[in-house]
Amino acid sequence: MTIKIDPDCLYTKTHEWIRVDGEYAYCGITDYAQQQLSDIVYVELPEVGDSFSQGEVFATVESVKAASDCYLPVAGEIVEINEELEESPDLVNTDPYGDGWFVRFIIEDPEELNNLMDADAYRKYTERVMAEGGH
């Protein structure tokens, strides 16, 4: 299985990505996560103005195989949601790091970014997970 990893993102062990853009960040699930879930049929996103702690559930993804919680990589307040996903949840399958983004939010504590993996560390992590046959 070939996994796309965006070198401009940071990653969580629960397979979310974050791309920092000044005081804001975009977030979604990784290519690995969408491959594990298979065909995504619904994405439940938070409301604009909602705030979450680091690691708190902020969205749910439903696929033909399972429903899966998504955890915000760092604490923040949601300023925008990807409304395209309402009509086209499959964008998460076809372009997880681009058109398949979930939310844009204000980063509350930039120090929390230090708890995340860079692209190289995430690649090694997913290789280890796959070798162990896990998710």
CA distance 96 to 51: 23
Average pLDDT over residues 63-89: 97
Strands lying side by side in the sheet with 16-21: 10-11, 16-21, 24-29, 103-107, 76-81, 51-52
Tokens encoding 49: 């103005």
11-29: pLDDT as tens digits: 999 999 999 999 999 999 9
Alpha carbon distance, N-terminus to C-terminus of the chain:
13
Quote the domain boundaries for residue 17: 10-130
82 falls within a domain: yes
Domains held by the chain: number: 1
Residue 1 has pLDDT above 90, yes or no: no
The answer on pLDDT for 134 being more than 80 is: no
Let me know if residue 95 belongs to a domain: yes
Whether 49 is covered by a domain: the verdict is yes
Write out pLDDT tens, residues 36-60.
Answer: 999 999 999 999 999 999 999 999 9
Whether 135 has a pLDDT exceeding 70, the answer reads no
CATH number, position 18: 2.40.50.100
User: 45 in a domain, yes or no?
Assistant: yes
User: Does residue 34 lie in a domain region?
Assistant: yes
Domain for residue 135, yes or no? no
Element spanning 76, H or E: strand 76-81
Name the average pLDDT for the chain.
96
67 pLDDT above the threshold of 70 = yes
